[in-house]
């Protein structure tokens, strides 16, 4: 179990608190189109403001590769001001230098200052020690509330945690505790659903999950490699012949659940011409785009007996109806079992969040992580630099 200090351990009154958030929000026409990540950051900000801290927010937006006004946080600052009214929120148009020092000097307890995109600074992504020292001079305390950026060893996620007293924000705390509960001490039986395009991108995830779960549902195009390994013809569907041996190894324990019927078409250009097929009747020119009704029934019947569900990746091409039916049906079933109190349902990853939103159940799961790469790396069993730094900071204080 990861040990770290939280806001419960923090006396922030009058202190300059550097807070790393993930405000990497989608923009269109200079306006934010999805406030989910911002909204999940508000509890930490409100708590620090109520404790009369001087809050300095650090965040990135995209991958600007140096200073690039297309990636300015100015629209994010406007959204943050609206979300935190009537609290005072200010924006500094620089991510480092004299203007930052001046803005922090004028900051009063209970006020918030958002700095410009921290990735405009070359040393940020290099985890440069000199930039870390400069950043440390801006504050008295560091709070990391950006689990979704914790897999990056950058100055604002890792380097700074070694130079200031470091704490986890409420979102970071919630993410870690939820994922630990689902992976380290889950209530059994446990099902994992892993979908996506290629086995090659999810192989470490599958290998790490297999010994922990009772049932491992494999869907999306990656299931085609497993079906081909079993000797089924998959028509013109995408699959990876070079990974068929890995698929066979994964299936040896009898935990892997694969489609027993599928929905096919000759292409996505004319989705109306789709057909249900058994695994023995897929045509040479046909491509698999979704799971079939028998597979849906089979998965939901097993899920009904489970108490923990971990989901990453859609089960079909959910962006193109009617190939969203399988993912929608399984997601809605999971939401139903969750509402009945029988299932702890946890999901994460960019495509997964989009698929659950499409299915209308994003708020009906027990927990949905907005972290993409960090969520995947945690579930794969990889250490996250940002989390490890918080743990080291906690142990250094204890010793």
- Sequence spans of domains, the chain: 7-171+383-398, 186-365
The active-site residue out of 181, 350, 357, 388 is 350
SS3 of 343, please?
coil
Condensed to tens digits (0 to 9), the pLDDT of residues 168-179 reads: 999 999 999 998
Condensed to tens digits (0 to 9), the pLDDT of residues 112-146 reads: 999 999 999 999 999 999 999 999 999 999 999 99
pLDDT (average), residues 197-222: 94
- CA distances 13 to 46, 55, 253, 372, Å, are 13, 11, 55, 34
Across all residues in the chain, what is the average pLDDT?
A: 94
Query: Is residue 209 a contact partner of residue 379, using CB atoms and an 8 Å limit?
Result: yes
Respond yes or no: is residue 254 known to be catalytic: no
346 pLDDT exceeds 80? yes
- CA distances 17 to 49, 388, 396, Å, are 10, 20, 20
Q: Please indicate whether the domains covering 7-171+383-398 and 186-365 agree at the CATH topology level.
A: yes
- 394 pLDDT band, cuts 50/70/90, is confident
The CATH superfamily label for domain 186-365 reads Phosphoglycerate kinase, N-terminal domain (3.40.50.1260)
The active-site residue out of 52, 110, 181, 373 is 373
Respond yes or no: is residue 357 known to be catalytic: no
The active-site residue out of 181, 198, 255, 336 is 198
CATH topology of domain 7-171+383-398: Rossmann fold (3.40.50)
Measured torsion, CA atoms of residues 46, 47, 51, 57, in degrees rounded to the nearest 10: -60
pLDDT (average), residues 31-42: 91
- Alpha-carbon gap, residue 275 to 52, rounded angstroms: 62
331 or 272, which is more confident: 331
pTM of the model: 0.87
Q: Is the dihedral of CA 306, 308, 310, 311 positive or negative?
A: positive
Residue 396: what pLDDT? 65
SS3 of 217, please?
strand
Respond yes or no: is residue 350 known to be catalytic: yes
Q: Name the helix (H) or strand (E) containing 389.
A: helix 385-398
Residue 389: what pLDDT? 94
The active-site residue out of 15, 16, 20, 37 is 37
pLDDT (average), residues 361-379: 90
397 pLDDT exceeds 60? no
398 pLDDT exceeds 70? no
DSSP state of 154: -
- Alpha-carbon gap, residue 17 to 113, rounded angstroms: 10
Residue 101: what pLDDT? 97
**DSSP code string of 264-306:** EES-TT-TTS-EEEETT---TT-EEEEE-HHHHHHHHHHHTT-
**Per-residue tokens: 74:** 């100015």
Residue 373: what pLDDT? 85
């Amino acid at each position: 179990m990861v040990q770290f200090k939280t806001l419960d351990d923090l006396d922030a009154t009058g202190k300059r608190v550097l807070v790393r958030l993930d405000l990497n929000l989608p923009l269109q026409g200079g306006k934010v189109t999805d406030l989910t990540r911002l909204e999940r950051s508000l509890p930490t900000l409100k708590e620090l403001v109520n404790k009369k801290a001087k809050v300095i927010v650090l965040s990135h937006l995209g991958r600007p590769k140096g200073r690039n006004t297309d990636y300015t946080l100015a629209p994010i600052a406007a959204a943050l001001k609206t979300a935190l009214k009537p609290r005072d929120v200010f924006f500094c148009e620089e991510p480092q230098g004299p203007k930052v020092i001046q803005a922090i000097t004028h900051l009063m307890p209970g006020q918030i200052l958002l700095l410009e995109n921290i990735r405009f600074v070359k040393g940020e992504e290099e985890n440069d020690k000199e930039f870390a020292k400069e950043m440390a001079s801006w504050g008295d305390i560091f709070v990391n509330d950006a689990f979704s950026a914790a897999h990056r060893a950058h100055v604002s996620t890792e380097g700074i945690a070694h130079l200031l007293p470091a704490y986890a924000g409420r979102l970071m705390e919630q993410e870690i505790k939820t994922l630990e509960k689902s992976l380290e001490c889950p209530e059994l039986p446990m099902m994992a659903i892993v979908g996506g395009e290629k086995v090659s991108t999810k192989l470490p995830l599958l290998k790490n999950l297999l010994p922990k779960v009772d049932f491992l549902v494999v869907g999306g195009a990656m299931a085609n490699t497993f079906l081909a390994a079993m000797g089924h013809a998959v028509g013109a569907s995408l699959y990876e012949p070079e990974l068929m041996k890995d698929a066979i190894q994964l299936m040896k324990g009898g935990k892997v659940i694969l489609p027993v019927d599928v929905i096919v078409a000759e292409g996505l250009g004319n989705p109306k011409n789709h057909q249900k097929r058994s695994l023995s009747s897929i045509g040479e020119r046909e491509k698999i785009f979704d799971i079939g009704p028998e597979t849906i029934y089979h998965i939901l019947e097993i899920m009904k007996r489970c108490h923990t569900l971990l989901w990453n990746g859609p089960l079909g091409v959910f962006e193109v109806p009617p190939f969203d039916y399988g993912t929608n049906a399984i997601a809605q079933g999971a939401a139903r079992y969750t509402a009945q109190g029988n299932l702890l349902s946890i999901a994460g990853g960019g495509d997964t969040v989009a698929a659950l939103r499409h299915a209308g159940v994003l708020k009906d799961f027990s927990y949905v992580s907005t972290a993409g790469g960090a969520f995947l790396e945690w579930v794969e069993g990889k250490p996250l630099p940002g989390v490890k730094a918080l743990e080291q900071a906690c142990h250094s204080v204890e010793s």
